[in-house]
Amino acid sequence: MGVTEELLAAQAEGLAAIEQAADLAALAAVRVAYLGKKGTLTAVLRGLGGLSAEERPAVGKVANEVRAALEAALAKRHEALSSAALEARLASEAVDVTLPGRAHPIGSRHLISRITAQVVEIFLGLGYRVAEGPEVELDYYNFTALNTPPDHPARSLADTFYVRDLSGDEAAVSGESDVLLRTQTSPVQVRTMEREKPPIYVLSPGRVYRRDIADPSHLPQFTQIEGLVVDEGITFADLKGTLDHFVHRMFGPDRKTRFRPHFFPFTEPSAEVDVSCGICDGAGCRFCKNSGWLEILGCGMVDPNVFGHVGIDSERYTGFAFGMGVERIAALKYNVPDLRMLVEGDMRFLRQF
């Protein structure tokens, strides 16, 4: 093979190698292999020395053309590979602004808090204030000052959580402690009347505790809202009007109320209030146990004995009080079949809806 043929063969091989170089590093290796000091083309050119003076210019020309062709191909391939590398980098570093973000679930207030707030709202609109009292309460406020006789069953260990004094106080340890978890929000009535002079219009939401086993209609810890009004000339008609208004705001204007005589130690007369069943509209169904009515609260006119404990003149002032269970109201309003569902941490009660 003559030198010209060798040069042309080296060019063909070199061009193929350039075309096949997959990345910039491979391309640099091809350059060294053909145009480097020990490269193929260099070796062929070294052989030019052995040519005759007539042959040399023609072969030299071919050699220059081969070098130029390889240089041009290297440059072109370099550009192609560089822009491909750039594109790859841009693609890998790209931020896709159209990707949906990570959603943080938004919670909402629990049904118990919402119902409590709704009831409070209704009574704030009637000019009531919110008054609160302690959950760990004295027997005096929870029972005695509320005209509850010493032998009343609610006081028994089977119904009330007594707080034991671990200091070793004999009476406390034996269960006859005078400190307990309040069984009702009614003691806030007494604390309020001790502190304030009539006119009194207060609402007291809060947690209460009873030694009940949790079942569909009982929880050992639940929420009550107490109302108390003391003023001159307050009558049972005021109580009825107030609770009618409350029921219409809470359950809807079409619902009816019914007052049934009842007994509470701290009110006389006392009543339980029913609201007409929202499912059957009073006709009778499973939800209302075929009675057409659902019990929602207890109420009555403040017993003069209670006024006696707090030094309010029962000749001048009269008052009414009422107490309702928030879980029960929530269950009635939203058809929750089992009160335990409200406290089991079921996320559906907290999801936004």
Binding site for ligand DAH (CB under 6 A): 184, 186, 226, 264, 267, 298-300, 321-323
Token pair for residue 99?
């990707």
45 CB contacts (<8 Å, ≥6 apart)? Answer: 63
> Distance between CA atoms of 218 and 272, rounded to whole angstroms?
18
> Could you tell me the smallest distance in angstroms from the CB atom of residue 224 to ligand DAH?
6
Nearer to ligand DAH (CB atom), residue 6 or residue 303: 303
Nearer to ligand DAH (CB atom), residue 267 or residue 318: 267
> Could you tell me the smallest distance in angstroms from the CB atom of residue 122 to ligand DAH?
17
Amino acid (1-letter code) at residue 63: A
Nearer to ligand DAH (CB atom), residue 227 or residue 278: 227
Place of tokens 């919402």: 114
Nearer to ligand DAH (CB atom), residue 6 or residue 295: 295
Nearer to ligand DAH (CB atom), residue 186 or residue 223: 186
Q: Radius of gyration of the chain from Cα atoms?
A: 46
Q: Which of 300, 295, 296, 298 is nearest to 229 (CA)?
A: 300
> Could you tell me the smallest distance in angstroms from the CB atom of residue 247 to ligand DAH?
16
Query: Within 10 A of 103 (CB to CB), how many other CB atoms are there?
Result: 6
Nearer to ligand DAH (CB atom), residue 39 or residue 298: 298
255 CB contacts (<8 Å, ≥6 apart)? Answer: 247, 248, 275, 276, 278
Cβ-contact 320, 271 below 8 angstroms:
no
Q: How many residues appear in the chain?
A: 353
The residue sitting closest to ligand DAH, measured at its beta carbon, is: 323
Cβ-contact 319, 229 below 8 angstroms:
yes
Backbone angles phi, psi at 314, to 5 degrees: -80, -5
Q: Which of 238, 225, 206, 236 is nearest to 126 (CA)?
A: 238
223 CB contacts (<8 Å, ≥6 apart)? Answer: 112, 116, 205, 206, 207, 208, 325, 326, 327
Q: Which of 197, 201, 234, 184 is nearest to 310 (CA)?
A: 197
> Could you tell me the smallest distance in angstroms from the CB atom of residue 311 to ligand DAH?
19
> Could you tell me the smallest distance in angstroms from the CB atom of residue 267 to ligand DAH?
4
> Could you tell me the smallest distance in angstroms from the CB atom of residue 339 to ligand DAH?
15
DSSP state of 174: I
Nearer to ligand DAH (CB atom), residue 257 or residue 267: 267
> Could you tell me the smallest distance in angstroms from the CB atom of residue 232 to ligand DAH?
19
Place of tokens 């931020």: 95
Nearer to ligand DAH (CB atom), residue 4 or residue 144: 144
> Could you tell me the smallest distance in angstroms from the CB atom of residue 301 to ligand DAH?
8
